[in-house]
Amino acid sequence: MIDARGEAGAGTIGDILAARALARGATGIVTDGGLRDSGTIAALEIPTYYKAAHPSVLGRLHFPLETNVPVACGGALVIPGDVIVGDVDGVLVIPAALAEQVAHDALAQESRETWALERVQAGESVRGVYPLTEARRAEFEAWATTPGGAGGNGA
């Protein structure tokens, strides 16, 4: 997580520093600022999230001071130990104390959405299916507890 104060007018990291982060075990790069060498970094096997590509070096606007300290990135407070989850839609910061409950709730939501998608793809309306209503809950729960339902996990 790199706090660039939302300033995208200079790259906060480029290909060499990204390669170094990867070599040191980093599993992702997130900055609310600019990124240099975006094409080269895209070829690295490390998920990277940034505000904008920019060719200027970080020293033009940024000066790294500390590591492993709380930062604000993209409007979110990030504290060392927080869980960071990202996909093609963006990045979430989950406070460490909430991570287990959020993971549990996310799996349950994913199960409900898998069921809803199956219903809709079979031609049903979204009414009562998405979001799941009490009137359809028993049907969903029966699906979720059968082999093959909810991926067979009974969520």
What is the pLDDT averaged over residues 32-49? 96
Nearest Cα to Cα of residue 54 among 6, 102, 118, 11: 11
CA dihedral 2, 37, 61, 87 (to 10 degrees): -30
pLDDT at 121 over 60: yes
CA dist., res. 62 & res. 101, Å (int) = 36
CA distances to 3, 38, 41, 68 from 13, in Å: 11, 9, 10, 16
Q: What is the pLDDT of residues 57-98, one digit of tens each?
A: 878 788 888 999 999 999 999 999 999 999 999 999 999 999
Q: At what angle do helices 99-121 and 134-144 cross, to 10 degrees?
A: 100
Q: Residue 142: enclosing H or E segment and its boundaries? A: helix 134-144
Identify the weakest region by mean pLDDT among 39-43, 50-54, 60-64, 124-128.
Answer: 60-64
Q: What is the mean pLDDT of the chain?
A: 93
pLDDT of res. 150: 64
- HSE of 83 in the Cβ direction (CA atoms, 13 Å)? 11
Q: What is the pLDDT of residues 11-39, one digit of tens each?
A: 999 999 999 999 999 999 999 999 999 99
Query: What are the structural domains of the chain?
Result: 15-94 (3.50.30.40), 100-152 (no CATH)
